[in-house]
Structure 1
Amino acid sequence: MKPAAHVRKTALPGVGTRYDLNTEAGAHLSVVVHQDGRRIISFHDPEDDDACKDAAALAPAEATALSALLTPDPVAHLHQHLEIDLVTEHIPIGRRSPYAGRTLGATQARTRTGASIVAVLRRTDAFPSPTPDFRLALGDTLVVVGTREGADAVAELINGG
């Protein structure tokens, strides 16, 4: 097992906290976590820590999505040996969704797609095994389990397709 990456933490009074990481390839990344929850990821010149090459501001939901993409799957190697065609997807309820404000049962997702909505994530709360009368809200994220085709069909259904 590889040793954990070394992350340096620096308090930024009145702003938040800065986290710095130097990668094995020599890149220098920083994440500034503001007191209001915003995050800014920046890329620095490895020769000059104060020279920022580029930066991107991330809203909390974007930071969460990015962290999910960057987090290694500790059991990924096991998936190679399984002959089961199941996927888990996180599907957001956006502005175009006809189901924001409606109940989960109104989607008829399992009947129409064969995939199951096993949880709903709302801000910092998780609602496992939601019942058909659970009311969906704009910004919720549905945790869907099913075949690739079923999960894609739920995404299309939820997004009004």
Structure 2
Amino acid sequence: MTTRRTPLPGVGIQYDFSTESGHHVSVVVHNDGRRFLGFYSADDPDACLLSVPLVPEEATALAHLLDQAPIDAVRTDGIDLVTEHIPVGVRSPYVGRALGDTGARTRTGASIVAVLRRTGAHPSPGPGFRLATGDTLVAVGTREGVDTLAEIIAGG
């Protein structure tokens, strides 16, 4: 399954994927934290059949139903932090390179707090940790910082 990430200037980010059965699903993450889950026609990928708005709490509840151990957003006094899972795809310029090469914290202010790999989780990876295709980075930071980090990892 490939997830396509599309920046929506002034709105947020849209994530699209197609299921193995051919269904097109989209999640739009607004800059203010709102999320919309969209379902599209298999015959016309631009025809949205249903859009379901989700407030952050509903999105978290749905994530708990889909994944037994999702990571929740972190909220602190006056500062909203988000936690995102960022995939390392085959086209990432960081495949096979050390995590420190990303310059994540310096460039974005976001921190990579774990790397999820098929063989298991690697919490608090050091700068020498080598990334592989299929890894998922668990990043914490501001919405802007985490989105910028996702673009960097994707090679954008």
> Structure 2 length normalisation: TM-score?
0.53
Question: Aligned in 2, Cα 1:69/1:154: closer, same or farther, shift over 3 Å?
Answer: farther
| Corresponding letter in the other structure for 1:70 | L
Given the alignment of the two structures, is residue 111 of structure 1 paired with residue 100 of structure 2, yes or no?
no
Alignment of 1:1-161 (within 5 A): 70-72=62-64, 83-161=78-156
| Corresponding letter in the other structure for 1:100 | V
Q: CA RMSD in A?
A: 3.3
Q: Residues of 2 paired with 1:121 and 1:108: CA distance?
A: 19
**What is the count of residue pairs matched by the alignment?**
96
Q: Residues of 2 paired with 1:146 and 1:128: CA distance?
A: 16
Q: Which runs of 4+ in 1 moved over 2 A?
A: 68-73, 81-84
Deviations 1:114-133 (A, max 9, x none): 00000000014000000000
Q: 1:85 Cα shift?
A: 1.3
Q: Residues of 2 paired with 1:71 and 1:156: CA distance?
A: 23
Corresponding residue SS for 1:158 = helix
Q: Residues of 1 paired with 2:100 and 2:119: CA distance?
A: 23
Question: Aligned in 2, Cα 1:132/1:116: closer, same or farther, shift over 3 Å?
Answer: same
| Corresponding letter in the other structure for 1:123 | R
Q: Residues of 2 paired with 1:90 and 1:107: CA distance?
A: 16
Q: 1:71 Cα shift?
A: 3.0
Q: 1:95 Cα shift?
A: 1.1
Corresponding residue SS for 2:96 = coil
Please list every run of 5 or more consecutive structure 1 residues that lacks an aligned counterpart in the other structure.
1-38, 41-67
> Structure 1 length normalisation: TM-score?
0.52
